[in-house]
Structure 1
Amino acid sequence: MDDHPSKSPGHLTIRVTRRDDPVSEVTEADAFASVRKYPNIVVRGPLFGLAEQRRGERPRWRLLGELDTGFPQMARDELNSYLWNKAKDEAGDRAERRSLLEAVTLLETRPVNEVTAAGVRYRVVRADEFARIGGGRLEPPRATDPDEDGWDLDAPETSRTKGFVVDHAAAVGLTEGMDRVGLLHLSYTASRFPDDVRADSQRALTTHPGVVLLPPTFRVVERNEQSWSMVTGQHAAPQGARRALVDHLTRPMPELPDLPGMPELPEWMKVDEKEAAVNERAAKKFTARRRPNELVVRGKRFDVVRVERVMRIGPDGPETPRPSDTDDYGPSQIHPRMDEHGTITYGSSAEASS
Structure 2
Amino acid sequence: MNDHPGKSPDHLTINVTHRDDPVFEVTQADAFASVRKYPNIVVRGPLFGLAAQGRGERPRWRLLGELDTGFPQMARDELNSHLWFKAKDDTEDRVVRRSLLKAVARLEKDPVNEVTADGVRYRIVRADEFARIGDSRLEPPRATDPDEDGWDLDAPDPSRTKGFVVDHAAAVGLAEGIDRAGLLQLSYTADRFPDDVRADSQRALTTHPGVVLLPTTFRVVERKELSWSMVTGQYATPQGARRALVHHLTRPVPQLPDLPDMPELPAWMKVDEKEQAIHDRAAKKFMARRRPNELIVRGRRYEVVRVERVMRIGPDGPEKPRPSDTDDYGPSQIHPLMDEEGNITYSS
State TM-score, norm by structure 1. 0.94
- Give % identity: 81
Counterpart of 1:156 in 2: which secondary structure?
coil
1:319 paired residue number: 319
Counterpart of 2:303 in 1: which secondary structure?
strand
1:192 paired residue number: 192
Change (3 A) 1:260 1:97: closer
- 1:86 and 1:254 map into 2 onto residues whose CA distance is 32
Code of the residue aligned with 1:237 in structure 2: it is: T
- 1:332 and 1:55 map into 2 onto residues whose CA distance is 29
Q: Following TM superposition, by how much is the alpha carbon of 1:20 offset from its aligned partner in structure 2, in angstroms?
A: 1.4
Q: Following TM superposition, by how much is the alpha carbon of 1:270 offset from its aligned partner in structure 2, in angstroms?
A: 2.1
Aligned residue pairs, count = 344
Code of the residue aligned with 1:64 in structure 2: it is: L
Structure 2 gap segments, 5+ residues each: none
Preserved contact between residue 131 and residue 138 of structure 1 (Cα < 8 Å): yes
Superposed CA RMSD in Å reads 1.7
- 2:78 and 2:217 map into 1 onto residues whose CA distance is 20
Code of the residue aligned with 1:71 in structure 2: it is: F
1:216 paired residue number: 216
- 2:48 and 2:57 map into 1 onto residues whose CA distance is 22
Preserved contact between residue 211 and residue 311 of structure 1 (Cα < 8 Å): yes
2:39 paired residue number: 39
Runs of 4+ displaced beyond 3 Å: 254-264
1:178 paired residue number: 178
1:88 paired residue number: 88
Change (3 A) 1:339 1:207: same
1:275 paired residue number: 275
- 2:117 and 2:254 map into 1 onto residues whose CA distance is 44
- 2:292 and 2:210 map into 1 onto residues whose CA distance is 36
Preserved contact between residue 83 and residue 101 of structure 1 (Cα < 8 Å): yes
Alignment of 1:128-277 (within 5 A): 128-254=128-254, 265-267=266-268, 269-277=269-277
Preserved contact between residue 223 and residue 303 of structure 1 (Cα < 8 Å): yes
- 1:236 and 1:102 map into 2 onto residues whose CA distance is 34
- 1:55 and 1:306 map into 2 onto residues whose CA distance is 35
Deviation sequence 1:49-106 (CA, Å, 0-9, x none): 0000000163410000000000000000000000000000002400000000000000
- 1:170 and 1:321 map into 2 onto residues whose CA distance is 24
Compare 256-265 and 61-70 and name the one that shifted more.
256-265
Change (3 A) 1:258 1:96: closer
1:103 paired residue number: 103
Preserved contact between residue 255 and residue 270 of structure 1 (Cα < 8 Å): no
1:127 paired residue number: 127
Deviation sequence 1:156-212 (CA, Å, 0-9, x none): 121000000000000000000000000000000000000000000000000000000
Alignment of 1:290-301 (within 5 A): 290-301=290-301
Q: Following TM superposition, by how much is the alpha carbon of 1:254 offset from its aligned partner in structure 2, in angstroms?
A: 4.5
Structure 1 gap segments, 5+ residues each: none
- 1:273 and 1:116 map into 2 onto residues whose CA distance is 54
